[in-house]
Structure 1
C-alpha cells in the first residue's frame, strides 16, 4: 500500500526536503511537492541587482531541481483539510497525505501598510526582495542625484534579516563611488532598538553604521506613509526622497485559511522537532514556520536535515530523536568588496572565530574580510549545485563552539 508525503512549496526548504526524503524513504512512499509556478529564484542575488549586479542565473525552472521519483505539481493551494488529511488545490484536485510538510515561505506584503502600495510605489518607494522590485530600484538609483535615501524595515520577522543592513552598506559604498555620498542623507529606520536582534552583533553592526555616517531611527513602527513621509504609531515622521522598504512579511494565505497559522500566517511548531503544535502529521520548515531564529537559507538547510530524519523515524513508528538548535549563519555585505559572517543559534549569539573550519576558516566570524565577500559570491554555485539537489555539505547541522571566542564582559 502506497503512503504519501506532500510538501507544500518548492522553494529552498521544500526542494531540499523533497529530495532528501526521496533518498531516505523506500518505494512504498510517494512524494509530491506543490508550487504555484515553475520559477525558482535565487533570492540572495536580488541584493546586488540595484547596484548593477547581474540578473542572469537568478531564476531557473523548479523542475530542474526536483529528483526523479518526486512528483512536482504546479498549482496554487486553496487550503489544507487536516481532519481529512488532504490538500485542496485551487483547481479542485485533492492530494491525500500521511505526512505533510509546509514549506511555503514568506512574502513581502506592501498592501498591509496604508500608503505604501499607492501612486509612489516603484516611483519613490521601492523594494528589493523581488526581482522586479530590484530591477526597478536599479533604474531609480541610476537617476538618483542626491537627497534623503531611507532604508526601512516595516516589522519583524523578515526573510534574510541582515539584508536591509547589507543594502545600507552597499548604498553607502555605491554613493561614494559615484560622488553622491556628501549629497545624500542616508537613514536606516528599524522597529528594533538597534541594528540587529542579537546584542553582540547589533553593537558591531551599529558601530559600522555610525562609522559610515548613517542616521539610525530605532523603535520605529510605521503606521502609514503619506506625502513621501514615514509616519510611526507614536507620531514620529521620517521624510524621504527615495524609500527602500522591506514591507511586512507574511506566510502563505492558505496557511491562514487552513487554521494552521499564527497572526502573520506562520506555522507554530516545536522549535526543536519542527512538528506542528496543532497536528503531529504536519511539519513546517524554512520561512513558513514560527521558529525563533532568522528566516534565512542557512536555517532552511540546517533544519531540513533534522526534519527529514524526524519524519522518517515517525513514519517508521519510532520516537523522533533529532533536535534542531536554531543554527543560522549569514553573510553581511559591508561594501568595498568585503563582508562579515555571523554564526549563531537559539542559545548562542554571533561570536568571533573562523568558519567553516575552526581556527582555519578561511572565513572570519563577526569581522569584515574579502574572503567573506568571495564566500557570499561563491554560494550561488553551491546553492544551485549542492543545496537544492539535497547533496551533503561537509558541515554539521548543529552549531559548533569550537574555535569561537566569547567576549569578556567589560563590567
Structure 2
C-alpha cells in the first residue's frame, strides 16, 4: 500500500486531501494529514473583524469537519522532514513514512524579525491582523480610538494576501467616516515598494484610490526599528513616521520545520518548480500554497488554481510519467474598497492585472480594476464558497489557467 502524507491542514492541504481521496483507490492508498492545530481559520476574514463586519465565530471551524472519513489525522507539530529516508519526524519523535509528500505548511508572521516591533506596545498600540489574537485585540482598540495617527506598515515582501494591507486602509477610511471622525484620524500606508502594489499597472490604479481617500502613501520605506517610547517607525535612511496606532504586517516566513529540514530559502519558503509544483530536486514531493517560493501572490486563489495543476501532475508522477500540466501563476483577488464597493484583479506570472470583465467576457458580472458594488458582493460571497466548496475540493466554474477573454490591454 502506498502512503500519501500531507503536511498542513489549511486551505491547500485540505483541498488536496479531498481531491485525492475521491479518486485514488483506498485499497491501494493510505492517506495521512498532519497539522499542529485542530481549528481551521478562514484567514481572509481576519481583515473584517476590527471593523465589526465579522466576529470570531465567522472565521473558525473544526478542521475535521472538512476532512473525509477514513483518513489518518495527526494533530502534532512537525519537527523535521527527512526526504532522504522518505519520512517525517514529529515533535513527539513519532516517525511518519511516506511514498509521496505534499507540503502545505503555509506561512506566518514573525514580528521578532524587526527590532522593537514585538515590544511593550505589542497588542496595546501596535497590532497585526494576520493572527486571530492580533485582529481581536485591534477590534478592542478601535472601540475606543477616536482620533490620532493610524499607520499601516508592511515590513517586507512577500506577504500572505498582498492586497490585504490596501483593503485595511480602505476599510479604515470607511469605518471612521461612518463613525463621523474621519477628519480626526490621519491614515498612512507605509510600504517598502515603490508604489501601492507589486504590479506597476495595478499600483497606479490603487495609488489613485489612496489619494482619493486621503490616505498618505509613503513608499520605499525600509524599516530599521520601531521606537516604542516615541511611537515611531524609523527607516534605515532615518525617515521617521509617528503613530498612535500602528498596524503592522511583519516579516512573513515559512514553517520552522522547513528550516530545520534544510529545504527552504532564507525565509523558509521551499524552492518549487513554478510550473509542475514539484519541490526542486525531488520527484515525490509537491508543494502548494504559501509554503512555496512561487513568483506569484501568496493567496487562497493561487492555492485553489494550483491545486488543479498539482492534482494532474501527481497522477502522472505516480504512474511513472513526466508531469505535463503547467501552472501559470494565476491569481484572482477581490479588494474591499469600503462603502459597499470593491475592486477585482486577475493576473498570472506574465500578465499584469488588466481592466475588463470577469469571468464572462461581455457580461461579467465582475469588473476588473474598477470599483463596483458587485465586486464587494463577490468578496462577501467568497466566505460561503470557501467553507462549502473550496475546502471540499469541489470544482468551480473558473479555469485554473488565466484567460485573456474580456480583458483590455
Q: Distance in 2 between matches of 1:278 and 1:321?
A: 17
**How far 1:92 sits from its partner (Å)?**
1.2
Give distance in 1, aligned partners of 2:32 and 2:51: 39
Give the stretch that moved more between structures: 291-300 or 65-74.
65-74
Verify: 1:152 aligned to 2:156, yes or no. no
| TM-score, length of structure 1 as denominator length | 0.97
Counterpart in 2 of 1:54? Answer: 54
Whole-Å separation in 1 of the counterparts to 2:363 and 2:200: 26
> What is the CA deviation profile of residues 341-383 of structure 1, one whole-angstrom value per residue up to 9, with x for unaligned ones?
0000000011111112221111111100111101111111110
1:131 aligned partner: 132
CA distance in structure 1 between the partners assigned to 2:302 and 2:326 by the alignment: 13
Q: Give the Cα separation in 2 of the matches to 1:69 and 1:20.
A: 14
- How far residue 235 of structure 1 moved from its aligned partner, in angstroms, is 1.6
Deviation, structure 1 residue 70:
2.5
Equivalent of 1:242, from 235, 241, 245? 245
- 5+ unaligned residues in a row in structure 1: which ranges? 407-411
- 2:2 maps to what in 1? 3
State the Cα distance separating 1:264 from its structure 2 match. 0.2
1:201 alignment counterpart: 202
CA distance in 2, matches of 1:305, 1:32: 20
| Cα distance in 1 between the residues matched to 2:70 and 2:367 | 40
Q: Secondary structure at the match of 2:58?
A: coil
SS at match of 1:209: helix
| Equivalent in the alignment of 2:192 | 191
Stretches of 4+ moved more than 4 A in 1? none
1:258 and 2:257 correspond = no
Asked whether the equivalents of residues 341 and 372 of structure 1 are also in contact (C-alpha less than 8 Å), the reply is: yes
Of 309, 312, 318 in structure 2, the residue corresponding to residue 315 of structure 1 is 318
In the aligned structure 2, how far is the partner of 1:261 from the partner of 1:5?
Answer: 21
Q: Aligned residue for 1:111? A: 112
The match for 1:386 is 389
Compute the displacement of 1:87 (Å). Answer: 0.3
Contact kept? 1:39, 1:62, Cα under 8 Å = yes
Q: Name the SS for the 1:298 alignment partner.
A: helix
Residue of structure 2 in register with 1:161 after alignment: 162
Q: Is the aligned partner of 1:17 residue 2:16?
A: yes
* Cα separation, 1, equivalents of 2:281 and 2:158: 22
- Normalised to the residue count of structure 2, the TM-score between the two structures is 0.98
Contact 1:225 1:231 in 2 (8 A): yes
Residue 386 (structure 2) pairs with residue 364 (structure 1): no
Q: Report if aligned partners of 1:126, 1:136 keep a CA contact under 8 Å in 2.
A: yes
Counterpart for residue 220 of structure 2: 219
Question: Aligned with 1:139: secondary structure?
Answer: helix
In the alignment, what sits opposite 2:337?
Answer: 334
Q: Which runs of 5+ in 2 are unaligned?
A: none
Q: Which residue of 2 aligns with 1:44?
A: 44
SS at match of 1:380: helix
- 1:30: Cα distance to partner? 1.1
Residue 280 of structure 1, CA deviation = 2.0
1:266-305 aligned at under 5 Å gives the runs: 266-305=269-308
Q: How many residues align?
A: 405
Report if aligned partners of 1:79, 1:254 keep a CA contact under 8 Å in 2.
Answer: yes
Measured in 2, the distance between the counterparts of 1:70 and 1:21 equals 11
- Looking at structure 1, the residues matched to 242 and 353 of structure 2 have their Cα atoms a distance apart, in angstroms, of 34
Q: Match of 2:402?
A: 399
What SS class does the counterpart of residue 24 from structure 1 fall into? coil
CA distance in 2, matches of 1:188, 1:47: 16
